[in-house]
Every structure is written in structure tokens, then in C-alpha cells.
Amino acid sequence: MRKLLSSSLFVGGAAAAALALSSPAAFAAGWTVTNGNASGAFTVGLKSGTTVTFKDVNTNQTFTCSASTINGSAPAGTGRSNPVASITSGSFTGCTGPLSSTGSATISSGGLNAVTYNSSTDTVSGNISGISAALTIKSILGTCNATVTGSVGNNNQDTYANGTGTLTLTPDPATQTLKIASTSGVCAGLLNANDLVTFQATYVVSSPTPPLTVRPT
């Protein structure tokens, strides 16, 4: 339900080091993206055995989704600036929550920003901004519709491991700006306009193969 995944989701964040490769983690002036798909398209799916968790920080309600796929564009190139990738569509299904509720959600936009790069683990850290998502939640009381906007990973704690193509989204309520923009229908206080939402999930690149990479130029 909390498909608010919008978030979620994405995935992609890259981050990089540039000023000093001698430092395990540093900032980069530009990014080099490799993508085996000539069109620049990519797809990520929820890591096997994991779920997506959304939590309304204001009402303390938690929702989980058993499946999620996100599509986007990350054109190959050198000296790329942020966002290094963008979300174009995505879905969250098999969602459940309070009051025996079930639901699903979609995400239509989001920019993946690379901020730092750890050369020892070949991992980039960053955030996803400009998220726009919509969700539908059905409970014993009725149907609730909501739109979600904002950013996740604002403390640049979201990571992308180049070696495995794994995107990890870690919530940080203190810096989260992802919020419910509007609601309609019967939301029964589970979701309210302006409530903050956290999003936790682990995605793995399914296309291209091998996974795309993001490293400092």
C-alpha cells in the first residue's frame, strides 16, 4: 500500500570521488556512466527475498509491498552532471497495511543524483529528487487515493554498488522530504496531506546485463 514507494524509488544514485582518489570516499566533478543498452534504458527489480517498507512518520503506520519494478534512463557518457539517471515509470504491488488494507502504487518521475564515490567498495552514494507517485489503498472502510512528491536519501545515504548493480534505499526521517501531497476518498487517518513518508528497499538491476555503472570521470 504505501506504494509511496514512489519512491521510491529509485535507484540509481551514483556518487563519486574526484578530488582525491587516495581518499576512500570523495566528491566528483563529473560522472562516467556505462550502459549496455544503447537507448540508455534500465530496469531494476526488488531484490529476491526482500520487501519494500513505507512508513508514515506522522501516523506511525507501516505498509509493505512484496513486488516492485522501476524503469528509467541512464544514457552512457563521460563528464555527466546530475541527475545521472532518471525514473520514467514504476510500480509497487502486493502491498498490505493497517486495517487489513491492500494497495498498489505507481511512480512517474525522479532524478538519481550521484554525490560521493567510495573507491574501496566501488560504491556511489546519493539521493533521488523530484519524485512523483500515486497510490491507491483499500481497507474495510473504503478506498483512499493519494499523491506523493519530494525526495529520498537527502543525507546522501542511498547507495549503488557497481559490482552487483544493487541499489539500497535507507530511510532517514530527520532529512526526509518525501511527503503526501494530497489525498481523496476514505483514508481513515492512515494517510494525511503533508505527512512525511520514509521508504526502505533494496533493488537489483535486471537490465542491462552486466549492470550499468557510475563512477567519477
The domain spans of the chain are 5-216
> From first to last of its 217 residues, what are the pLDDT tens digits of the chain?
333 333 333 333 333 333 333 344 566 779 999 999 999 999 999 999 999 999 999 999 999 999 999 999 999 999 999 999 999 999 999 999 998 999 999 999 999 999 999 999 999 999 999 999 999 999 999 999 999 999 999 999 999 999 999 999 999 877 879 999 999 999 988 899 999 999 999 999 999 999 999 999 9
Say if residues 117 and 215 touch (Cβ distance below 8 Å). Answer: yes
Q: In angstroms, rounded to a whole number, what is the distance separating the alpha carbons of residues 86 and 75?
A: 10
CA-wise closest residue to 132 among 63, 184, 86: 86
CA-wise closest residue to 53 among 11, 8, 89: 8
